Chain A
């Protein structure tokens, strides 16, 4: 009897996993990869797939912060600007006394975290709508960027940054390793800590959460702080991969981070979702972009294809429940 009980339990458990959004998104990625490798020679090569995941790592790390914010019921439209600020600002913190290059990285991460915290401050204490607060922050940072860079590209001569962008310990690009570490930490924080529980409560019903004793202001600030930190980290990796930072380097990551979150099954309205979905969501986005490049269409058609594919994927995974 206990054996059959266990059998039923595990079977229902398997069913829960198989029908979950993250698993479905992973399945779509696998399917696209398999079909694409038959259609296009070289798509399924290990080197190419590794390159795709390396590109997805940057989106995935930005999406980690975005997932936190979206689950808590907000949205962060300043991530692109923060990625750029990190990539362009890093050389400013270079200190000759530190040959490892760790100090500038820590300084940049601290700076972007503070930017995120200011976002949180505006949302939590000034009660500015997240979209407006982060939008205004992006405008603000755009001005700051012109002061820093003056329109010209900056070159990274930081050994640690180049390592993160180019090194391949054990044959795996360092960017992917960073992403793996980030993913594990994020998943644990999101699903196995009191902070994570507060997050979901706040996103599902801010008032109920507040009345139940969730510290709304500090949680909100923490969420935007995390988003700022992640965007900063992504900016450092992008700088390492490109070797150069310039104004506009972070622009693609705003839409990509939101799309990855939504494709992964996290509700844009908050309170529902998981980073486990955003991970395959990020890989899916990069895969779509790569496929469209393979098709070799004009920029117009490429853009149309990209938008249409996201819409179709949304139909599969992003529907909101009827509210009547």
Chain B
């Protein structure tokens, strides 16, 4: 009896110790995010009302999803340049099906199936045919963008009003969904495939020889990544109330920037999802704060470029100084 409680206690202690250690890399990032949050709160006190909070989390939500989508792939040593195209595809599929015979439930299911299917197909090509991920997803982005154009050649379609209002209205429903997604991610990490994720990215050969299902873990990562992207597309469609076949374009670069800001490494196995989420929050805050400060678009671009380089370069300098 006392044995098990002791074991569970030391288990908890071990868990906390490990989490503390994993936080070291992102601690300074959390501080920067906090500083930006305070700046945002001072500039725009409405943030602390329910509506302000809802609007803010809604502007962050799709970026958070694509940052997670990119981070999962980067953790396994992959990358995707098709994120933006998948977001667009998710948006047009949602906008063309939800008011049709399939209804909201059928449309949502279809969006999920499309994301999972395309993601899994990409994963199969990359993993089983041993083609470089960056080029496969580059070619894939053309195919997916073409499919989005076939579904909806020009902006149009519609999302039922009640769905738009409940997802992107004055309630922080999007934030709730994000919390659920993060919890699901925690659960996934506890499954065998989730456990294999880091091992497969950190040292594929070693993991394979230790019996880790490396290929399955990587393909599953691509499938989940696809699901997150089309999900982000659904939300974007709900936000705008219609579909647009090129609405997701900017998400490809922003997803990489957010993941890297969050400390995810390109070589696989390095970084944490909380880091990627913080990275996406920082990027989202940066854009909002610069907007409120009245930066011209030019200055925004310049500042964004400088901040990204600075955020990535600073830890390197500190590491060398040690």
Interface residues of A (CB under 8 A from B): 75, 122, 126-129, 131-133, 135-137, 139-140, 142-144, 146-147, 255, 258-259, 262, 267-269, 298-308, 310-311, 314-315, 318-324
Contacts and interface: CB of A to CB of B under 8 A. Distances in A.
A133 B149 contact: no
7 contacts: A122-B313, A268-B132, A269-B132, A303-B143, A310-B135, A311-B136, A323-B204
B309 A133 contact: yes
A146 B309 contact: no
Nearest to B307: A136
A138 to B, nearest CB: 8
Contacts of B204: 323-324
A209 B139 CA distance: 32
A132 B311 CA distance: 11
A307 B141 contact: yes
Contact of B302 (A126, A131, A144, A321): A144
B131 A131 contact: no
A131 B208 CA distance: 28
Contacts of A127: 313, 316
B313 A140 contact: no
A128 B266 CA distance: 11
A321 B205 CA distance: 13
Interface of B: 125, 129-132, 134-136, 138-150, 153, 204-205, 208, 253, 256-257, 260, 266, 297-302, 304-306, 308-309, 312-313, 316-317
Contact of B150 (A268, A300, A311, A314): A300
A132 B146 contact: no
Given A307-B142, A323-B204, A140 B305 contact: yes
Contact of A131 (B140, B142, B256, B304): B256
B312 A129 contact: yes
A77 to B, nearest CB: 8
What secondary structure prevails in chain B residues at the interface with A? helix
Contacts of A132: 256-257, 260, 308-309, 312
Contact of B139 (A136, A267, A307): A307
Contacts of B301: 139-140, 142-143, 146
B253 A135 contact: yes
Given A126-B309, A307-B140, A139 B131 contact: no
Contacts of B141: 307
Contacts of A322: 130
Contact of B312 (A75, A128, A321): A128
Contact of B135 (A135, A299, A314): A314
A122 B140 CA distance: 30
B96 to A, nearest CB: 13
Contacts of B140: 307, 311
Nearest to B304: A139
B73 to A, nearest CB: 13
A301 B146 contact: yes
A272 B197 CA distance: 29
Contacts of B142: 303-304, 306-307, 310
A300 B125 contact: no
Given A132-B256, A136-B306, A307-B143, 17 more contacts: A127-B313, A128-B309, A129-B312, A137-B305, A144-B298, A147-B298, A259-B139, A300-B146, A302-B146, A303-B143, A306-B142, A307-B140, A310-B135, A314-B139, A318-B132, A319-B129, A323-B205
